[in-house]
Amino acid sequence: MRRPDDNELTEQGWSATGAGRVLLIACGALAHEILALKRVNGWNHLDLVCLPAILHNRPERIPAAVAEAVTRHRAAHERLFVVYADCGTGGALQRVCADLGVEMLPGPHCYSFFEGNAVFAERGEVTAFYLTDFLARQFDAFVWRSLGLDRNPDLRDDYFGNYETLVYLAQTDDPRLTEIARGCADRLGLAFERRFTGLAPFAALLADGVKDNPPG
């Protein structure tokens, strides 16, 4: 199947069925990175279904969307694993996963995934607004237009007045994305900081959840 566009609102995925297969039910904002890790690490027993990344703008809808995906796909896979953090659900997603008997990644949000949960927690940054590669690419759709700043730019300080720095957590060493992220910081009136995370912290988290390989 083709890779879904970042803004598509329907569930998309790459999957097969059979004994020993693990289905990842993931946020669409993590699709690029999961596929890269799947390829590099030879995780051939993994299948992937992505829910729309735009759900992050309505986090109260994430638990129900995940539950629906689990119900739809459970019979075709030996094991399901949810690749979401809490993502603003206030613990609701974790409770849903527990009720359904499926595992999920620990962590507050994907920014923490990319830096590593322990590192992110230790930083304790409360005045930083974060971008990932995905959010740098989709800044207009997920931030600027979503918050109505295209229509009411004077609201910028209401939304971002308590932030000081835009921190770009870069998964790839891409000068073009870095300049896009720097431009986002300028538009928000924030200082700019780039941190190259690569994929190693996220890979370590994901590997703990998908380490069981299929037989044979």
- pLDDT single digits (tens) 127-167: 999 999 999 999 999 999 999 999 999 999 999 999 999 99
Instruction: Report the pLDDT value the prediction gives residue 78, as an integer from 0 to 100.
Output: 85
Q: Give the number of C-alpha atoms closer than 13 A to the C-alpha of residue 9, restricted to the C-beta side.
A: 5
Given a cut of 90, whether residue 113 has pLDDT beyond it is: yes
- Spatial contact of 162 and 108, defined as CB atoms under 8 Å apart: no
Q: Give the number of C-alpha atoms closer than 13 A to the C-alpha of residue 137, restricted to the C-beta side.
A: 14
Indicate whether 27 and 71 sit together in one domain. yes
For residue 134, the enclosing domain spans 121-196
Residue with tokens 């939304």: 159
Q: Read off the DSSP letter of residue 126.
A: S
Indicate whether 63 and 129 sit together in one domain. no
Given a cut of 70, whether residue 200 has pLDDT beyond it is: yes
Residue-averaged pLDDT of the chain: 88
Distance CA 145, CA 20 (A): 43
Indicate whether 77 and 152 sit together in one domain. no
- pLDDT single digits (tens) 202-216: 999 998 877 654 433
- Spatial contact of 166 and 139, defined as CB atoms under 8 Å apart: no
Given a cut of 50, whether residue 32 has pLDDT beyond it is: yes
Which amino acid is residue 175, in one-letter code?
Answer: P
- Spatial contact of 110 and 86, defined as CB atoms under 8 Å apart: no
Instruction: Report the pLDDT value the prediction gives residue 165, as an integer from 0 to 100.
Output: 98
Indicate whether 82 and 146 sit together in one domain. no
Indicate whether 192 and 204 sit together in one domain. no
Q: What CATH number has the domain bearing residue 61?
A: 3.40.50
Torsion of CA 64, 68, 69, 75, to 10 degrees: 140
Indicate whether 69 and 154 sit together in one domain. no
Q: Report the domain count for the chain.
A: 2
- Has residue 192 been placed in a domain? yes
Distance CA 21, CA 215 (A): 9
76-105 average pLDDT score: 94
Strands 12-14 and 46-51: antiparallel
- pLDDT single digits (tens) 46-81: 999 999 999 988 999 999 999 999 999 999 888 999
Instruction: Report the pLDDT value the prediction gives residue 214, as an integer from 0 to 100.
Output: 42
Indicate whether 130 and 192 sit together in one domain. yes
